[in-house]
Structure 1
Amino acid sequence: MTGSHGRTVRDLRRGNRSAVLQRLYFGGPMSRQELGPVTGLSSGSVSNVVGELVADGLLEEAGVVDSDGGRPRTLLRVAPGSAHMIGVDVGETRVRVELFDLTLTELARTELPLQPRGCYDVGPIVDHVRTGIAAVLAEAGVGTDRLLGVGIGVPGIVERDAPGGTVVHGQTIGWDAVPLEALLRATGALPEEVPYLIDNGARTLGQAEMWFGAGRGAREAVVVLFGSGVGASLVTDGSPEGGSTDGTPLEWGHLTVSVRGRRCRCGALGCLEAYTGAESLLARWAERGGSAGEVQDEEEALAVLLAHGVAGDPVAVEVLEETAEYLGAGLSDLINLFQPERILIGGWAGLMLGPYILPSVRAHARRYSLRHPADRVSIDLGSLGPDAVTVGAATLPLSAFFTTGGRRPVPAPATEPPGWHASLATRGGAAGR
């Protein structure tokens, strides 16, 4: 049955389930009586939807509260163990895989280093993801029957509607139209009904910070991913109540900040990433005589550089201050172009260097920006720590969960062609003999 606006009864029911789940998920435990006003549903609709969700195991009781002059009210909440998600961060130095329950409590994790540093051959990375999925499921003793999906954050441009599944264009890591979804599916790590949901790592970071971190409450923000390289995500609707965040990945690291400048790993000259990424910091420090000694891991090497800077080593201080100025100048472009309310800096390198360079970054961003947008923006660090990309990746299947009203998509049944197909094929074969 279809309504006047083309919505079926099934669509309406799915929308009602989604509204109730999202309010309970982001608003905390509520009673049936409270759910009506905040969802816009009638008491009868709330009762029906809650009954369905409780029967499906997605909601559970969370205690009782007294009401004014009436019977005590039972509070409801989303049942944490009713579903699971996996988040994967294909990072610059390692692949991190984490298993979460429905409320994003971590149940298991594993990290698989990329060796040698910066090796982005797709075969080993696909194998890392496959191995990581198996490891976290085994560690937690969880099967795939309640697994909503695997969200994966990757560097580069993600083409989700490509024929055959999601394709990744990662120029800086040597990925040219890599059919990542098809490669992962071919491993057989998961049943066909469990989806792989792939997106840009900066966008997954942005969604995590806007839903659960320092971006909560902001409608317009830019979230920066500062690791070996740099990227950003523009968020124009940060409200989680819609089930997803309207975020646009920005290849911000490849803005030209110095004509005929340093060679970027994308091949161009003068990109912002050639002056601000951790890889660039360490290269520029080495060019000026600095050294991290025998340390090979990029994160450990950057920690050594930072320690030299804090200790007052003039070369390290110079490199860090130069980085802060380039980063501030790069942020000024985002401020002037998009006029966001907030800028949040995350990523392992951003969180490591932030306490040391953030005041300088703010000062340079303000100096290079137009006064009016600079006066209304705040620049801070993300609050979710170095795992934020993984958490954000796990929100990809969580978003789909909300969109479907908590129902797992059912694969379309295999269909046989009409009988005349076989008949004509038989005739054609006979004619050819």
Structure 2
Amino acid sequence: MSPHQPTRRPVAGVPGVPWNRQRLRSNNEWLLLELLRTGGGSSRAQLARDTGLSKPTVSAALAELEQAGLVREAGRVAPERGRTAVLYEVDPRAGHVLGVDIGRARLRVAVADLAGTVVARRDVANRGRTAEAVADAVVAAAHEAIAEAGLASADIVHAVIGTPGVWDEERRGVRYATSLPDWGRPGLFDRIAEGLGTAVTVANDANLAALGEYTLGAGRGSRMFAYLLVGTGLGVGVVKDGELLLGAHGALGEIGLVPLPAVPPAAEPLAAGQDVPDATTLEQEAAADAVVRAARDFGLTGTGGRRLTAKQVFARARAGDEAALRAVRWEADRLAYAVAVLSAVLDPDLLVLGGGIGNSADLLLEPLEQALRRFAPRCPTLAPSLLGEEAVLLGAVSTALEAARPAVFERRTAGL
């Protein structure tokens, strides 16, 4: 399932939409609510000037919104001349959303109000041995965060779950989630939705990270922006003019699935009837496990008998370990191939490096840029993520808010 698109409220006068006084009043209230959300606190007089509505119309609409619990007084301002003006703002307590980031190593959950302020969160190790255990752990972490916020499950208007893979609506499951065992099993996300007791949208983690970075991080203001998520998996999210690009089947950006054939050197052509060697994928060659394998090949071992991790490889590289530095350069070469492909196909003006490995941009960007000069004639500007490991989670919260705001408005104004 692609990230939920915000509901478009009907406007009086649009063909096919019958005009009536209730519809017009509802549109006026929505217009004022959105103006207060995007512009901050404002007085009745200022809202009238900004919208072109009459002051009595604005006053009546604000009274209805206040009665519905959607706006509240934010203070008063005394002008140089005239009466003191009351300032109004959106009441962020009118509804809450849930953002979830499911990764192979960590499960992250955040509860946010309608202003996007995170009021409670959980960040726990993913210890699930089965797909069902992971699903149940997500529900448990979510309920803990909801309780910490002083809320009940019914207070959550919408939840967005970020996960590796591509949502398949017909199967009710994700495809291509290779980093999580059996994660493509149909019914898992229905199990999570039932446990949460609220509407749930499932979205690709790289896509959500791109939305989070575009809204709050390094991607702000970019016309054509790509987010390269490098961690236990490899994926890309692309935002063009503020809109997420999904492709015909929701799989745009699944660059980790691109095969890299193990073709023999030209001096050793395949014999007649000889099979072409099996191909590895770009994800297998450039994600976390590949970094660890390369480091081991260069002679790096874990400390204290513990298993070597990609995080340790980059930490050792920062300390000047030559084997670790070689592994970092090796990783940069593989990522350069991915970026070169993206540059040729999408021509983004900015590419942000994120994810668990991408967060080591301080080590990767320079060798990556050097390698790109060999691969690509034209390259985008490269930048590190500003949101770090929060990108997917904040993108999930942002996407959930797009769905929740109109839903809360409909629900709270239905009886007025």
TM range (shorter): 0.7 to 0.9
Summarize the Cα distance change of 1:162–1:359 in structure 2 as closer, same or farther, 3 Å threshold.
Answer: same
Structure 1: runs of 5 or more not aligned: 239-244, 262-267, 412-433
Corresponding residue for 1:242? none
TM-score calculated relative to the size of structure 2: 0.80
Corresponding residue for 2:229? 225
Of residues 89, 99, 105, the one that matches 1:87 is 99
Counterpart Cα distance in 2 of 1:370 and 1:43: 59
TM-score calculated relative to the size of structure 1: 0.77
Counterpart Cα distance in 2 of 1:410 and 1:155: 37
8 Å Cα contact 2:111-2:120 kept in structure 1: yes
Structure 2: runs of 5 or more not aligned: 1-9, 247-251, 264-277
Tell me: higher relative CO, structure 1 or 2? Use CA pairs within 8 A at least 6 residues apart: 2
Residue correspondence of structure 1 range 121-136 to structure 2 within 5 A: 121-136=130-145
Out of 176-185 and 41-50, give the one that drifted further: 41-50
8 Å Cα contact 1:347-1:386 kept in structure 2: yes
Summarize the Cα distance change of 1:322–1:15 in structure 2 as closer, same or farther, 3 Å threshold.
Answer: farther
The CA deviation at 1:140 is 2.3
Of residues 167, 183, 189, the one that matches 2:191 is 183
Determine if the alignment matches structure 1 residue 359 to structure 2 residue 371: no
The CA deviation at 1:106 is 2.3
The CA deviation at 1:114 is 2.4
Counterpart Cα distance in 2 of 1:86 and 1:93: 20
Corresponding residue for 1:406? 409
Residue correspondence of structure 1 range 247-266 to structure 2 within 5 A: 247-248=245-246, 249-256=252-259, 258-260=260-262
Determine if the alignment matches structure 1 residue 286 to structure 2 residue 292: no
Determine if the alignment matches structure 1 residue 313 to structure 2 residue 325: no
The CA deviation at 1:135 is 0.9
Counterpart Cα distance in 1 of 2:53 and 2:261: 58
The AA in structure 2 aligned to 1:291 is T
The CA deviation at 1:305 is 0.9
Q: Identity, % of aligned pairs?
A: 28
Corresponding residue for 1:196? 200
8 Å Cα contact 1:401-1:407 kept in structure 2: no
Residue correspondence of structure 1 range 168-179 to structure 2 within 5 A: 168-172=174-178, 173=180, 174-176=182-184, 178-179=186-187
Counterpart Cα distance in 2 of 1:40 and 1:276: 55
SS at match of 2:281: coil
Of residues 372, 377, 381, the one that matches 1:370 is 377
Counterpart Cα distance in 2 of 1:366 and 1:408: 55
Aligned positions, number:
381
Corresponding residue for 2:338? 330
The AA in structure 2 aligned to 1:359 is E
Corresponding residue for 2:271? none
Corresponding residue for 2:286? 276
The CA deviation at 1:67 is 4.6
The CA deviation at 1:153 is 0.4
The CA deviation at 1:205 is 1.1
Summarize the Cα distance change of 1:295–1:235 in structure 2 as closer, same or farther, 3 Å threshold.
Answer: farther
Corresponding residue for 2:165? 156
The AA in structure 2 aligned to 1:316 is A
SS at match of 1:250: coil
Counterpart Cα distance in 2 of 1:342 and 1:15: 38
Summarize the Cα distance change of 1:142–1:158 in structure 2 as closer, same or farther, 3 Å threshold.
Answer: same
The AA in structure 2 aligned to 1:169 is R
Summarize the Cα distance change of 1:359–1:79 in structure 2 as closer, same or farther, 3 Å threshold.
Answer: farther
The AA in structure 2 aligned to 1:283 is R
Summarize the Cα distance change of 1:12–1:275 in structure 2 as closer, same or farther, 3 Å threshold.
Answer: farther
Of residues 218, 235, 238, the one that matches 2:239 is 235
Counterpart Cα distance in 2 of 1:286 and 1:409: 59
